[in-house]
Structure 1
Amino acid sequence: MRELVTLQLGGFANFIGSHFWNFQDELVGLASDPESDPVFKNPYLNMDVLYRTGETQQGLLTYTPRLVSVDFQGSLGSLSSCGSLYSGVSSAPSDIVTWTGGVSTHASEPHKKNLFLRSLYEEEQENFATMNGTNSGKNDSRREIQDKDIVECLDNDVQFWTDFSKVHYHPQSLYELRGLWMDAQEFDNYGIGKDVFTGGFRGEEICDRLRFFVEECDHIQGFQFVVDDSGGFSSVAAEFLENIADEYANTPVLLYAVRGPDSHMSLRSRKQTIFKELHDAVSFSRLAPFSKLIVPVGLPFLSTSKASTFLHIKDEKPYHCSAVYAAALHSTSIPFRVEPVGPSADSGDVSGAMEVNGLIQMLAGQARQNMVAILDVSMPAPALTGKQGERSLLGSLQPLTPDVADDVEDLQAVESMTIHGALGSGGHYASVPEVKDTVHAMYEQAMSRPMFCHLSVARPPLPIPLPFPSIFGNLVGRRGELLGSPVSGSSSRGSLDVHSVPMAVKLRSSSVVLPYIENRLGNLRRFGIERGAPGAELLRSWGFGKDELDDLGETLSKMVMALDPHSQLSSDSD
């Protein structure tokens, strides 16, 4: 088997991860539920690619994500860093190892479980009692009312990414950065996180956790790395990635550099602008060389973007925005877990298996060595109905990557598209051949087309679990179909109204990402490298010398040159 290990660093990355693993948990449950829609019972989607099997000391079989999550101490809310399955695991030792004087302990009150987490606990207790023959036969007639209360509670009161997580985690998965003595608002730049990974044995402890998951893999296909690069976690990630490159040189890294809505707040002074622009330039130029492919994700205002045409997003809520980004990451990961379909097997359910290395070689392994990909999404994807529908499917794909150019034709573009849960005529789930024929016809009619496009198709749509936010508009139906007239009632619909949605996503290597790279290169030179640059002292305080800054500029310049050899910014001359 070709396993995938996932890494999540930083607050917003873990918000995305929480939704991502909720989707996986929902798929696992639907596949084993005899009463669920048969479309979710797909033998060619191998969830073991993402999950590991285990057993507790009490003999309880477990199925947990192959995951290492890193965040601030206290970011887990009511969840223990040991998870909830292995209660006997001791907590990590204190960082104070040489102090011989008196020690006083000040313990804060533990966070209380919200309504959703309490309902999960009660449901598990009922299931345990049923397995042991001690169930009192309680009536579930109030479940609908309870679910409505849960949805309302989550929409109003989510503070931590664990508040809406329905997944059990292995005790090696959750790592809290201890001893930082600062809050998330202060941990806001590359320099402040530069020594965090190497200090206090943190790097060794995090790498040991990663090693735990890697060593039990039969044949790991890659790392799916999600980092909140808007603050100090970008430098933590750079140190971590450098260690991964040394220890797992032949294992490719697919890196998603994500940004939450608060990272795009308006800047009130020139000093703040320089501070942010230099962080963005340094962060990107340090992360990119350690990943085979980097995908920037996070729009300044998701709510007003074309990607949210049928959604009602509140930008100020990470719980909302992270759900959309997680849905896109779920869809891009589908080819990695598709079992190759032989000629004698049923090919009507899935097609287009691809490993991480295959994706990277296709997108980043061209002659121009492009290392940056754009992520596009259509949520929900339109139905495959007639020529109008065929054209709208391509048009409905909108970028989740910021600062990309519009209406730029790139004849050298390479794309990898994934479509799953597509609805055909009559509202049925379209077969793989139907989707393929539609996409091929769509490209034949398109004004411009990529040099190459790989297509992966699966019939199971994106399941919408109970803790998913109420972000669908009133033109979205129960199975994600786009309605001709709005549904009466609330303008926002959630998991009680929408049970699944068809999805289309696309990763593309294209020169339309040039503005993203050029902005960072230009700002690094203007504010940090040129003679008299106003941010030169700031970069020195972050630990960067002139030679290292020149190397960062050279890295960005080569990326620009690879995409546009005629760009003035690709020149080394200042």
Structure 2
Amino acid sequence: MREIITLQLGQQSNYVAAHFWNAQESYFTYGADEESPVDHDVHFRPGLGADGTETYMPRTVIYDLKGGFGTLKRLNDLYDISEDAASSSLWPGQPVVHRQQPIGASAYQQSLDTGQAAPELTTSSVRYWSDFNRVFYHPKSIIQLNEYELNSTLMPFEKWHMGEELFANLDKEHDLLDRDMRPFVEEADQMQGIQIMSGIDDAWGGFAAKYVERIRDEYGKTPVWVFGVQDPVRGLPRLVNKARALAELSSQASLVVPLAIPDEPFPSSIRLDTSSSWHVSALFAATIESTTLYTRLKATDRANSSNLGHMTDLLNVFGRQTIANIEMSPIKPPNPTQNGSNDIANLTNQRGELLTSTHDSFIDDESESGSQKGMMSLDVDLSSPQDLRLQSGTRGSRKRYVFSQVQTYRGPEIEKDTADDKDDIANSRFGMRRRPKVHNYDSRLAFPILDSYPKIFRDNNGNAVKEHIAMRTSLSTDTSVMAKVRGLRTTVIRSIGLEDRETIGNELAEIAEGYKEGWSSGSDDDDDE
């Protein structure tokens, strides 16, 4: 097997993960003549319920604050024991029970419980991520942290040191890895890696940094991917938290992928309410789920199945490039032809560009300016492109130099080029042998649009896409990371406490230097300030 253990840290990440797990659940097939292309053992574990019923639940550990789970109970219907707690108590007296007013189940959850048709979800009806959750979780997966309360005005969980201190206190008392994560790791036959979804611009960034440090001490060679979710509402305190998170996580994780809603307008195919966590997390989840799809496809499809370790090696060319940019493009559904069939050959992206191949030839010589022909730039950049504007004195936008790019396509099969240089070694124009810069994966499994998923994607006529959608994504290590980290450092360095300012500043500068190695544009813009 090649299991992946998932950690979900905080409300933002749990919204994203709920969409992720709903998508995984939709890939299950139940007919004898149906076979899913997804290897469910990668993300799901077998078990036994309280009554001996066989269960199959996500390999995940979910952390959230008090009140963050909404209506989700730690003991679900498969593990709920109806025995009255008072009847098994050794206390001979009459117990006095104080109960907090329970949160009422959403109409959507009630429909799932009763098997009735689900009502359409709206931004106003989704109060918590559990309101649109479709999956049962093992009781060991649910970890509520009662030290802080969700959306508290008295003590909001926002400052970096709160996350660090909370982890330190909990780990000292319980040893979090032993209590929470190790049971899932020990069930894995051959763990592929650890996938972490966490906020990085609030206190969860500090919590995640300490958690990853402990993971690295315990599982030194295991690939660890961190998807760092950021709130659409920005400000200097959040930028400070993000800077600290990148400085800490980049030295411990195998790959760090920041995700943020861009300031630029979305293409016509996306209608997003940026004030809704349900909407924002849906876009993040579709991108993450599509990018990592190939780590859970069945190994029989060797051309397009991969693993976290291999993809890390492809992206981290010089060993110091652990921060990657992520982009996505929803592909407009093809228009029906006169005979009623879909014209698969005429798929377009949102700029109207014709997609004629899923395996273009991308191995080109570098130009003196550092730009590269054939490198794909997709419609929606979720890698905090606004950070490029943080750097003072920037003289316009520069073309980025891509060290490595992993591109994915999922959807209807379209014409492929005969040449596929995915894993070959190529020669540069200077005679140096190097790996190709672009690595392609494709699958005919389109992204599912479930009734739990908001109708954020539109077709050519502006109608909501209701069943599934084709999609491209890309993960890139490129020189824009250098500019973003430098800009972030310049903006926040004076807001960091004196005791940490020099250390954090040096770590950010070192990260930026990692994206200069092996390439120089000859431009003064790239010199240190």
TM-score normalized with structure 2 length: 0.79
- 1:520 positional shift: 2.3
Matched, 1:257 2:208: no
Looking at structure 2, the residues matched to 48 and 244 of structure 1 have their Cα atoms a distance apart, in angstroms, of 22
- Alignment of structure 1 residues 72-471 onto 2, 5 Å: 72-88=65-81, 106-123=98-115, 146-147=117-118, 150-151=119-120, 153-180=121-148, 183-184=151-152, 186-200=156-170, 204-205=175-176, 207-261=178-232, 263-264=233-234, 273=236, 275-301=237-263, 304-306=264-266, 308-341=267-300, 351-364=303-316, 366-367=317-318, 369-380=320-331, 385=345, 388-390=353-355, 394=376, 396-403=378-385, 408-421=398-411, 429-430=412-413, 434-435=415-416, 451-471=436-456
Aligned match for 1:558, one of 510, 519, 525: 510
Matched, 1:51 2:2: no
Looking at structure 2, the residues matched to 358 and 111 of structure 1 have their Cα atoms a distance apart, in angstroms, of 44
Looking at structure 2, the residues matched to 438 and 398 of structure 1 have their Cα atoms a distance apart, in angstroms, of 28
Looking at structure 2, the residues matched to 3 and 191 of structure 1 have their Cα atoms a distance apart, in angstroms, of 33
One-letter code aligned to 1:375: I
| Higher mean C-alpha deviation, range 275-284 or range 402-411 | 402-411
Over 3 Å counting, the alpha-carbon distance change for 1:277 and 1:154 in structure 2 is closer
Does the aligned pair in 2 maintain the 1:378–1:504 contact within 8 Å?
yes
Query: Paired residue for 1:135?
Result: none
One-letter code aligned to 1:73: K
Query: Paired residue for 1:425?
Result: none
Over 3 Å counting, the alpha-carbon distance change for 1:470 and 1:169 in structure 2 is same
Looking at structure 2, the residues matched to 21 and 231 of structure 1 have their Cα atoms a distance apart, in angstroms, of 24
Does the aligned pair in 1 maintain the 2:49–2:55 contact within 8 Å?
yes
- 1:309 positional shift: 3.3
Looking at structure 2, the residues matched to 204 and 168 of structure 1 have their Cα atoms a distance apart, in angstroms, of 26
- 1:208 positional shift: 1.5
Query: Paired residue for 1:504?
Result: 472
- 1:436 positional shift: 5.5
- Structure 1: tracts of 5 or more residues without a match: 92-102, 124-142, 268-272, 342-346, 422-428, 441-449, 477-482, 488-492, 529-538, 540-544
Judging by fraction of residues, say which structure has more helix: 1
Per-residue CA distance 1:69-98 (angstroms, 9 max, x = gap): 11101111111123442113999xxxxxxx
Looking at structure 1, the residues matched to 488 and 82 of structure 2 have their Cα atoms a distance apart, in angstroms, of 45
- 1:182 positional shift: 7.1
- 1:465 positional shift: 1.4
- 1:53 positional shift: 0.8
- 1:368 positional shift: 6.0
SS in 2 for 1:525: helix
Looking at structure 2, the residues matched to 313 and 181 of structure 1 have their Cα atoms a distance apart, in angstroms, of 28
Does the aligned pair in 1 maintain the 2:47–2:54 contact within 8 Å?
yes
Does the aligned pair in 1 maintain the 2:455–2:466 contact within 8 Å?
no
- Structure 2: tracts of 5 or more residues without a match: 85-94, 335-343, 359-375, 389-395, 422-434
Looking at structure 1, the residues matched to 122 and 284 of structure 2 have their Cα atoms a distance apart, in angstroms, of 18
Over 3 Å counting, the alpha-carbon distance change for 1:203 and 1:550 in structure 2 is farther
Query: Paired residue for 2:426?
Result: none
Does the aligned pair in 1 maintain the 2:328–2:472 contact within 8 Å?
yes
SS in 1 for 2:249: helix
Does the aligned pair in 2 maintain the 1:336–1:356 contact within 8 Å?
yes
Does the aligned pair in 1 maintain the 2:494–2:501 contact within 8 Å?
no
Per-residue CA distance 1:481-514 (angstroms, 9 max, x = gap): xx3x445xxxxx3xxx611111111111111222
Aligned residues: percent identity? 23
- 1:61 positional shift: 1.0
Over 3 Å counting, the alpha-carbon distance change for 1:46 and 1:187 in structure 2 is same
Over 3 Å counting, the alpha-carbon distance change for 1:226 and 1:515 in structure 2 is same
Does the aligned pair in 2 maintain the 1:10–1:228 contact within 8 Å?
yes
SS in 1 for 2:162: helix
RMSD in angstroms over aligned alpha carbons?
3.2
| Higher mean C-alpha deviation, range 401-410 or range 6-15 | 401-410
Query: Paired residue for 1:4?
Result: 4
Does the aligned pair in 1 maintain the 2:62–2:143 contact within 8 Å?
yes
